C-alpha cells in the first residue's frame, strides 16, 4: 500500500499544482480557454485524492481521519468539494484562482508528516470521536474557502478605493457577491464547528467523564468559535459588511490554523495529543 | 477575374459636414443598389452607411471601370460635385479592401475601438443589398466570413468588455460594488445634463428607485418624473443619502457640499452599508477625504476618466489578438476567393468533357443496336466514371495552383490544350454569377 499510496499522493499533488498554475495564468492573461482545462485537472486531482483516501480506509480498516497527514488530505478534499459546488451551482468561478493554490499548499504540507497509519485504541474507535473529527475538518475546509473569499473581498475593496483599474478585478465578482458568499460559508462552518465541539464534549464525557478540561486545543477552539460568532453577530445585528468583517474572518481563520497546526505540535498533551 | 473594391469616406478622412453629404437615406440606398445592378461592369454591390462612415463595396472585372461607375452613381444620387469630396474618399482594392471590411466589421476601424454596433450595421447593409439582389457569390462569402470573424473577436477577446465612456465606467464600478443594481436606490444631487446621462445608464440597468434633489424643486420634479422617481428638497439631502446606494453629485456649488464628518455620520446611520459616490461636478462637490471612510467609494470625474483611459489601453492590447483572429479568417476567405478564379475554367473543362462523352455515347449506342435499358444504363455510368476519374486530378491541381497564385499560366495552357476559349468567354462568368445568386438568396437568411 505504501508505494501505491505514495504514488497516488504524488499524482494528486501534481494535478493540484498544475491546476493552480493554470488558474493563475488564466487570471493574469486573458486566455479564455484555460479555465476549463484547469478545472479538469483539479477534478482529476480530486478523484485521485478520493481514491487515495478510499485505498487507505480499505487497507487500514478505518476512515482515514486520525493522523495529521490524513486530516490534511481530508481538509483539502472537503475544500475542493466546496469550490466545485460554488462554481458549478453558483457560477462563482473566481474562487478557483485564489483557493486552488491554497489547497495545493495544504496537500503539500501533508508531505512533511508521516503517511503511516495509527493503531487505534478502543476508545478512539468511538462513533462520537469520528463524528467530532469529521465535522471539525469539514468546518475547517469551509472556513478556509471563506478566508479566501475574504481575501478576494479585501483585494477588490483595495482596488476600488485606490482607483486601480487593473484587468485583475474585472475577473473578480462584485463586493456584494463576495460578502454574500463569505457570510454563507462562515454560517455553514460555524454551524459545523458548534456541532463538532458538542460531539467532542460528549465523547470526553463518555470516555473520561468530563465535558471540558481546559486543554489548549479546547481553549483555542473556544476562541475560534467566539471569533466566528462575533463575525456572524456583527453581520446579522448591525448589518456590517466590508473590510472590518473581512478582517475578522481572516482572524478567525488564523486561529483555526493556529489551533490546527501550532497547538497540535507545540502545545500538545491531554486527550488531543493526536490532533 | 473578379476584383473587389471599396470607395469610402469615414471619420478619419472627413469631418462630419462632409460625411453627412455622403450618407444615404433608405430610399437613396435602394436607388443606389438598383443603379449598381443596372450598370454593366459592377457585378455585386453592398453599401454600408453609418454616422461615421459611408462605404460602397463593389465587385467587378475592372477596378477603374467600377470606380468611375461608383463616382457617377454618387454624383447622380447624392447630387454632389464629386471632385469636391474626392480628396476625402479612399479607394481600396483586392486584399486591402478585404482587410478593411474585416477590421471595420470587428470594430477595429471604429471611433471607439472594439465597439460592436458596427457589426449589426454591416449585417444590415449586407441584408439590404441581398434583398435588392445586388449580392452574388463573392460578397455572400466575403460578408459572411467578415461577420464570423467579428463574432469570434467578440467572444474570444475582451475587446468590448470594459466601458468606453465616463457614464458607462460609473455604471461598471457600481456593478463591481453592488453586483446587480436591481434593488438599489440612486440619488441625484443637482440635476445637470451629465448626471442625467449617468442616471439613464443606471436606470437601464434596473435601479429600483431614483431620488432627485435639486435646489430648484421644479427641475427636480421634472427629472424625477422621467425615471418614475421622487424629488426631495435640498434640505433633506442627508436623509436621502442614508437611503441611497449610488449618489451622482453635480451641483453648481463653489465649495464642497459633502464633508467627511457629515458623511461619517451618514455611514453610521446607514449601519456601514456600502455607498458609491460619483462626483462629476467641477469644482468638486464632495471632499476627497470622504473616500477614506470604510465602505465609501468616491469617484470624481478625473477618476472616471482615468478608468476609461485604462480601459482603452486594455482594448488596444486586445486589438492585437483581434487582428490575429481576423487574419485567420481573411486567409480562409482568400483561399476560397482564389479558387473562385478557376471555377469558370473547371466548369468549361467539365462541360467539354461531358459534351464529348454524350456525343460518343450516342453514336456507340446507335451502333450497338438493341441493348436492354439496364445495359444502356451500365454503359452510361461507365463512361461517366471514366470521365470523372480522368478529370479528378487536373481539377484538384487547378485549385491548388489557384491558391499558389500560379493559376494564370495553367489556365492559359489548359485553354490551349483543350481548346476551351469559347466555353470560357461564352458561358463562363456571367453564367455562374446568375446561378449562384439564387443560392446566395437562400443562404442569406442564415448570416
Q: Could you report the per-residue pLDDT of B159-215, keeping only the tens digit for each?
A: 887 887 888 888 889 999 998 898 899 999 987 777 888 888 888 888 989 999 988
Question: Is B28 found in the same domain as B128?
Answer: yes
On whether the CB atoms of residues A97 and A26 are closer than 8 A, the answer is yes
For residues B81 and B201, state if they share a domain. no
Nearest to A182 by CA among A154, A224, A222, A221: A154
* Whether residues B198 and B277 fall in one domain: yes
Q: How far apart are CA B109 and CA B220, in angstroms?
A: 41
Look at residue A99 in the predicted model and tell me its pLDDT.
Answer: 92
CATH number at residue B141: 3.30.460.30
- pLDDT value, residue B364: 87
pLDDT of amino acid B47: 92
Beta-carbon count within 10 A of B359 CB: 10
What is the structure's pLDDT at B88? 87
Same structural domain, B152 and B177: no
Peptide bond preceding A190 in cis form (omega within 30 of 0): no
**Which whole number is the average pLDDT over A89-110?**
89
Cβ–Cβ of B161/A243 closer than 8 Å?
no
Cα B87 from chain centroid (whole Å): 25
Task: Determine the residue among A27, A160, A183, A237 to mutate to test chain B binding: the one whose Cβ has the most chain B Cβ atoms within 10 Å.
Answer: A160
Whether residues B405 and B271 share a domain: the answer is no
pLDDT at A142 over 80: yes
B294 φ/ψ angles, rounded to the nearest 5 degrees: -65, 140
Residue A66 contacts residue A274 (beta carbons within 8 Å): yes
Q: Assess whether B203 and B280 both reside in one domain.
A: yes
pLDDT band at A31 (very low <50, low <70, confident <90, very high): low
Q: At B445, which helix (H) or strand (E)? A: none
Mean pLDDT (whole number) for B250-257: 87
Does some domain include residue B330? no
Do B174 and B296 share a domain, yes or no? yes
Confidence at residue A40, expressed as pLDDT on a 0 to 100 scale: 92
Of B161, B291, B299, the CB nearest to A170: B161
What residues of B are in contact with residue A170 (Cβ under 8 Å)? 158, 161-162
pLDDT of B425 higher than 90: no
Whether residue B46 sits in one domain with residue B17:
yes
For residues B408 and B410, what is the distance between their CA atoms, to the nearest angstrom? 6
Residue B68 has pLDDT above 90, yes or no: no
Q: For B176, which of A166, A174, A243 is closest by C-beta distance?
A: A174
Distance CA B345, CA B420 (A): 8
Kindly state the DSSP code that residue B258 receives in the 8-state scheme: B
- As a whole number, mean pLDDT of residues A224-245 equals 84
Asked whether residue B300 falls in the same domain as residue B374, the answer is: no
Q: Out of A170, A175, A177, name the one closest to residue B274 (CB).
A: A175
Please tell me the distance from the alpha carbon of residue A225 to that of residue A255, in angstroms, as a whole number.
Answer: 10
Identify which has the larger pLDDT, A11 or A126.
A11
**What does the alpha-carbon distance between residue A123 and residue A203 come to, in Å, rounded to a whole number?**
9
Tens of pLDDT along B277-335?
A: 999 888 888 999 999 998 999 999 889 888 888 888 888 888 999 999 999 999 999 88
**Same domain flag for B63 and B126:** yes
A238 touches chain B (CB under 8 A): yes
Q: Does residue B284 sit in the same domain as residue B386?
A: no
Active site residue B51: yes
B20-49 mean pLDDT: 87
Q: Is B243 on the interface with A (CB under 8 A)?
A: no
Contacts of B95 (CB under 8 A, 6+ apart): B334
Q: What pLDDT is stored for residue B427 in this prediction?
A: 37
B327 falls within a domain: no
What is the residue whose three cell numbers read 451500365?
A: B378
Count of domains forming chain B: 3
Rounded to an integer, the average pLDDT of B124-142 is 90
The arithmetic mean of pLDDT across residues B88-109, rounded, is 91
Is A171 touching B (CB cutoff 8 A)?
A: no
pLDDT, average across residues A146-152: 93
Mean pLDDT taken over chain B: 85
* Cell reading at B396: 484538384
Chain A touched by B310 (CB under 8 Å):
yes
B72 in any annotated domain: yes
B289 reaches A (C-beta below 8 A)? no
- Cell, residue A7: 504514488
pLDDT score of A32: 64
Alpha-carbon gap, residue B261 to A67, rounded angstroms: 55
Q: How far apart are CA B103 and CA B105, in angstroms?
A: 5
| Chain B contact present for A28, CB below 8 A | no
pLDDT greater than 70 at residue B437: no
The packing angle between helices B407-418 and B373-403, to 10°, is 150
Q: Three-class SS of residue B163?
A: coil
pLDDT band, residue B445 (cuts 50/70/90): very low
Q: Is residue B8 located within the same domain as residue B151?
A: yes
User: A161 to chain B: nearest residue by CA?
Assistant: B297
Decide if pLDDT at A271 tops 60. no
B33 found inside a domain:
yes
Distance from chain centroid for Cα B51: 13
Residue among B158, B177, B178 minimizing CB distance to A30: B158
Which residues of chain A have a CB within 8 Å of the CB of B297? 160-161
pLDDT tens track for B382-394: 999 999 999 898 8
Parent domain of B405 = 335-426
Q: What is the DSSP letter of B215?
A: S
CA dist., res. A97 & res. A20, Å (int): 7
Q: What is the pLDDT of residue A48?
A: 92
- Separation CA B241–CA B213 (nearest Å): 10
What is the C-alpha radius of gyration for chain A, rounded to an integer number of angstroms?
A: 19
pLDDT over threshold 80, residue A262: no
A176 in reach of chain B (CB within 8 A): yes
- Are B294 and A243 within 8 A, CB to CB? yes
Amino acid at each position: 500500500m505504501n508505494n501505491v499510496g505514495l504514488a497516488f499522493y504524488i499524482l494528486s499533488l501534481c494535478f493540484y499544482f498544475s491546476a493552480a498554475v493554470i488558474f493563475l495564468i488564466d487570471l493574469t492573461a486573458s486566455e479564455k480557454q484555460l479555465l476549463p482545462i484547469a478545472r479538469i485537472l483539479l477534478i482529476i486531482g480530486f478523484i485521485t485524492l478520493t481514491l487515495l483516501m478510499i485505498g487507505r480506509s480499505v487497507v487500514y480498516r478505518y476512515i482515514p481521519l486520525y493522523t495529521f497527514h490524513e486530516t490534511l488530505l481530508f481538509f483539502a478534499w472537503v475544500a475542493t468539494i466546496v469550490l466545485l459546488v460554488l462554481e458549478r451551482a453558483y457560477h462563482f468561478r473566481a474562487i478557483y484562482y485564489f483557493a486552488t493554490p491554497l489547497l495545493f499548499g495544504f496537500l503539500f504540507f501533508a508531505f512533511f508528516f508521516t503517511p503511516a497509519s495509527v493503531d487505534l485504541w478502543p476508545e478512539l474507535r468511538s462513533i462520537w470521536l469520528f463524528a467530532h473529527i469529521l465535522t471539525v475538518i469539514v468546518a475547517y475546509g469551509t472556513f478556509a474557502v471563506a478566508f479566501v473569499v475574504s481575501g478576494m473581498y479585501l483585494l477588490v475593496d483595495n482596488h476600488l478605493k485606490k482607483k486601480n483599474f487593473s484587468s485583475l478585478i474585472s475577473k473578480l465578482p462584485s463586493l456584494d457577491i463576495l460578502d454574500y458568499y463569505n457570510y454563507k460559508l462562515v454560517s455553514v462552518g460555524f454551524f459545523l464547528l458548534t456541532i463538532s465541539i458538542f460531539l467532542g464534549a460528549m465523547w470526553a464525557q463518555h470516555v473520561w467523564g468530563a465535558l471540558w478540561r481546559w486543554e489548549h486545543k479546547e481553549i483555542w477552539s473556544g476562541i475560534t468559535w467566539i471569533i466566528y460568532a462575533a463575525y456572524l453577530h456583527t453581520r446579522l445585528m448591525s448589518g456590517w459588511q466590508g473590510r472590518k468583517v473581512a478582517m475578522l474572518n481572516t482572524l478567525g481563520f488564523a486561529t483555526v490554523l493556529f489551533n490546527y497546526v501550532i497547538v497540535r505540535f507545540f502545545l500538545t498533551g491531554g486527550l488531543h495529543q493526536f490532533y | 477575374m473578379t476584383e473587389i473594391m471599396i470607395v469610402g469616406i469615414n471619420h478619419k478622412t472627413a469631418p462630419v459636414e462632409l460625411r453627412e453629404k455622403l450618407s444615404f437615406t433608405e430610399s437613396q440606398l435602394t436607388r443606389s443598389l438598383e443603379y449598381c445592378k443596372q450598370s454593366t461592369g459592377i457585378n455585386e454591390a453592398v453599401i454600408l452607411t453609418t454616422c461615421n462612415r459611408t462605404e460602397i463595396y463593389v465587385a467587378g472585372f475592372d477596378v477603374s471601370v467600377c470606380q468611375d461607375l461608383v463616382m457617377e452613381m454618387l454624383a447622380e444620387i447624392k447630387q454632389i460635385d464629386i471632385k469636391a469630396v474626392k480628396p476625402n474618399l479612399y479607394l481600396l482594392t483586392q486584399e486591402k479592401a478585404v482587410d478593411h471590411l474585416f477590421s471595420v466589421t470587428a470594430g477595429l476601424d471604429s471611433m471607439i475601438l472594439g465597439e460592436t454596433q458596427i457589426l449589426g450595421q454591416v449585417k444590415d447593409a449586407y441584408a439590404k443589398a441581398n434583398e435588392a439582389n445586388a449580392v452574388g457569390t463573392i460578397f455572400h462569402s466575403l460578408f459572411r466570413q467578415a461577420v464570423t470573424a467579428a463574432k469570434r473577436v467578440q467572444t474570444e477577446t475582451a475587446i468590448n468588455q470594459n466601458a468606453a465612456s465616463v457614464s458607462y465606467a460609473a455604471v461598471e464600478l457600481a456593478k463591481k460594488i453592488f453586483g446587480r443594481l436591481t434593488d438599489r436606490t440612486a440619488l441625484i444631487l443637482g440635476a445637470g445634463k451629465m448626471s442625467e446621462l449617468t442616471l439613464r445608464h443606471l436606470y437601464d440597468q434596473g435601479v429600483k428607485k431614483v431620488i432627485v434633489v435639486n435646489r430648484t424643486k421644479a427641475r427636480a420634479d421634472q427629472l424625477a418624473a422621467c425615471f418614475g422617481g421622487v424629488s426631495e428638497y435640498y434640505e433633506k439631502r442627508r436623509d436621502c443619502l442614508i437611503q441611497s446606494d449610488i449618489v451622482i453629485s453635480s451641483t453648481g456649488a463653489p465649495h464642497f457640499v459633502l464633508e467627511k464628518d457629515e458623511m461619517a455620520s451618514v455611514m453610521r446611520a446607514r449601519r456601514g452599508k456600502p455607498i458609491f459616490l460619483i462626483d462629476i461636478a467641477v469644482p468638486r462637490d464632495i471632499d476627497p477625504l470622504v473616500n477614506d471612510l470604510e465602505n465609501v467609494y468616491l469617484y470624481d470625474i478625473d477618476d472616471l476618466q482615468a478608468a476609461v483611459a485604462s480601459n482603452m489601453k486594455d482594448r488596444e492590447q486586445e486589438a492585437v489578438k483581434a487582428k490575429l483572429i481576423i487574419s485567420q479568417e481573411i486567409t480562409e476567405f482568400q483561399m476560397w476567393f482564389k479558387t473562385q478564379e478557376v471555377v469558370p475554367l473547371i466548369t468549361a473543362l467539365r462541360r467539354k468533357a461531358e459534351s464529348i462523352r454524350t456525343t460518343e455515347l450516342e453514336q456507340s449506342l446507335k451502333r450497338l443496336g438493341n441493348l436492354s435499358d439496364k445495359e444502356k444504363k451500365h454503359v452510361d455510368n461507365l463512361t461517366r466514371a471514366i470521365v470523372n476519374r480522368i478529370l479528378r486530378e487536373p481539377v484538384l491541381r487547378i485549385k491548388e495552383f489557384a491558391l499558389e497564385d500560379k493559376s494564370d499560366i495553367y489556365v492559359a495552357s489548359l485553354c490551349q490544350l483543350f481548346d476551351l476559349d469559347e466555353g470560357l468567354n461564352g458561358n463562363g462568368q456571367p453564367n455562374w454569377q446568375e446561378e449562384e445568386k439564387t443560392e446566395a438568396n437562400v443562404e442569406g437568411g442564415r448570416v
